[in-house]
Amino acid sequence: MTDIETPAPTPSATPPVADGYGPRAQAYRAFRPRYPRALFHYLATVTHDNRSAWDVGAGNGQAAVGIAERWARVLATDPSEEMIAMGVAHPRVRYAVATYDSGLPDHSVSLVTVAQALHWMDATALMREVRRVLVPGGIFAAWCYSRCRLSDPLDAVVDQFHRVTVGSYWPPERRMVDDGYRAIALPLDEHVPPPFDMVEDWTYETFRQYVRTWSGLVRYVEARGEEAVLTFEQELLEGWGKPTVRRQVRWPLSFRIGEVR
């Protein structure tokens, strides 16, 4: 296999989406849940080797640093300069601003991942590059998470806010996430992974800040202001109890994993 220490990729002339997450890069890094280590162990068991991987739409590296625990070299790319600037440092991760033009040699990586970002991408353009850079029999793995789960009655409060208050302000691409990416046509011979959940024990403030990173909420506030958001946060706090109490938050993950045809 060829090393991935190549000249840094250059941004594509037509990025897949507007850089909507860039201005929120710091909050996204601080208040998004972390992927389970067991997921990266599973990916290591279904690939030929663990020398090189490419994480596409990497954001600030939440998946890339997990992959780097099992792979010797990881290229993490994202079209957002702000996200890449906030990349979590890791000795085996190299960050670069790019869309689908990875700059990688042909057939040089055994794994390509897209974590919570496939719905923003042109799947045809992405898979063309994935097919070029993967070794024969290499694995493509995309995953996403939608609604989190707490305990009753908090679930009902969050669900009402998510579906009704913010509902019409979610970007249309969000439907692909809620569908677990099943509607996206991908040329894969698919694997069926075991179930994986992200699990965090969060205080009220951490959860509140996480909700503030929702793309639909940002659009809602831009259009209608803060009043309904503050009402939701007060109702959430009343159900939460003491703000310092830690509560378990769970996000089931949905997957599209397999060998590229």
How far apart, in whole angstroms, are the C-alpha atoms of residue 215 and residue 172?
Answer: 11
Whether 99 contacts 123, CB under 8 Å: no
Whether 152 contacts 124, CB under 8 Å: no
pLDDT at 5 over 60: no
In a domain, 5, yes or no: no
Per-residue pLDDT, 155: 96
In this structure, what CATH number is given to the domain that contains residue 57?
Answer: 3.40.50.150
pLDDT at 41 over 70: yes
**Dihedral sign for Cα atoms in the order 130, 95, 209, 155:** positive
Q: Is 241 left (phi over 0), alpha (psi -120 to 50) or beta?
A: left
Per-residue pLDDT, 169: 97
From residue 140, how far is each of 19, 113, 169, 204, 253 by CA, in Å?
24, 6, 31, 36, 16
* Mean per-residue pLDDT over the chain, rounded: 91
In a domain, 2, yes or no: no
pLDDT at 114 over 50: yes
In a domain, 133, yes or no: yes
In a domain, 77, yes or no: yes
In a domain, 10, yes or no: no
Cis bond before residue 243 (omega within 30° of 0): no
pLDDT at 235 over 70: yes
**Dihedral sign for Cα atoms in the order 234, 235, 241, 245:** negative
Whether 112 contacts 56, CB under 8 Å: yes
Task: Give the mean pLDDT of 104-125.
Answer: 97
Per-residue pLDDT, 26: 85
Task: Give the mean pLDDT of 117-144.
Answer: 97
Whether 40 contacts 66, CB under 8 Å: yes
pLDDT at 17 over 70: no
Per-residue pLDDT, 105: 98
Per-residue pLDDT, 22: 56
- 186-213 per-position pLDDT tens digit: 999 999 999 999 999 999 999 999 999 9
How many residues would you count in the chain?
Answer: 261
How far apart, in whole angstroms, are the C-alpha atoms of residue 59 and residue 76?
Answer: 8
- pTM, whole model, 2 decimals? 0.89
Task: Give the mean pLDDT of 70-84.
Answer: 96
> Please, which pLDDT band fits residue 6 given cuts at 50, 70 and 90?
very low
Q: Which of 11-15, 35-39, 66-70, 132-136 has the lowest mean pLDDT?
A: 11-15
Domain containing residue 139: 22-260
> Please, which pLDDT band fits residue 8 given cuts at 50, 70 and 90?
very low
Task: Give the mean pLDDT of 33-42.
Answer: 97
Structural domain count, the chain = 1
- Which residue in 171, 167, 249 sits closest to 215, CA to CA? 171
In a domain, 137, yes or no: yes
In a domain, 4, yes or no: no
Task: Taking each helix axis as running N to C, give the angle between helix 215-224 and helix 227-240, from 0 to 180 degrees, rounded to the nearest 10.
Answer: 130
In a domain, 191, yes or no: yes
Per-residue pLDDT, 48: 84
Burial environment of residue 156 by CB neighbours within 10 A (0 to 12, 13 to 18, 19 or more): exposed
Task: Give the mean pLDDT of 147-176.
Answer: 95
